[in-house]
Amino acid sequence: MLIIPAIDLKDGHCVRLKQGIMEDATVFSENPETVALHLHDHGARQLHLVDLNGAFAGKPKNGEAIRAIVEAIDGRLPIQLGGGIRDLETVEYYLDNGISYVIIGTAAVKIPGFLHDACYAFPGKIMVGLDAKGGKVAVDGWSKVTGHDVIDLAKKFQDYGVEAIIHTDIGRDGMLSGLNIEATVELAQALTIPVIASGGVTNLDDIRKLCAVQSEGITGVITGRAIYQGSLDFKEAQALADQLDSEA
């Protein structure tokens, strides 16, 4: 089980939102590359970056901060990135410039042909972010809830050849209210590709609960606010996950 720390970028700063609301942002650092190095030094094995401005604008907006993080990490661990990625040129640019996995969210739902082409052109490099509210998929920086069922769409995207599905419960994201384990397990059971959980991680109890069901196909969990506010010690969380892995 990978504990994947998130660096959410807004106006070049490392922030966290509550339930995806841009106006409800807490700035944790004005130097995201310093945060990335700190997480690397504390044992992170993968980083999750989100261009929040890009997610709302529909095109990359935090290029300078992303470049600074990539240069600071210098290939020492994989970086996955989402937010505002709507065309193959952007996918190719990121993959050519130090990003390991590109996460497609809104465009996967609105332009499925683009996702299909991206999976074909860049096999093993494309993840899909499915952000859910009441089992339905939300798009455009979580501002609009569609009528699409999460599991139905995930199965379709699995057939396209995506590497993994990142499942976020919008209602819990940034709220420190605990993961939606039940919905995550239900999704993982319906798929053969890995599922990465996200939204609501609070403390080590959440890590224990998730590790207990990882055999269903849940390979990682993304956490942000909990590690920045101190309710979850990142190093301790990964050590616990490793211990539970070895005991399983």
| Residues tagged active-site | 8, 131
Q: CB-based contacts of 120: which residues, under 8 Å, 6+ apart? A: 161
Amino acid at 7: I
What are the structure tokens assigned to 49, written together? Answer: 């970056």
What are the structure tokens assigned to 109, written together? Answer: 């739902």
Q: Which helix (H) or strand (E) holds 189?
A: helix 181-190
Q: Which residue has the tokens 């569609």?
A: 146
Spatial distance between the Cα atoms of 16 and 219, rounded to a whole number of angstroms = 23
Strands (DSSP E) found in the chain? 2-10, 13-18, 21-29, 47-51, 79-82, 101-104, 126-133, 136-139, 144-149, 164-169, 195-198, 218-223
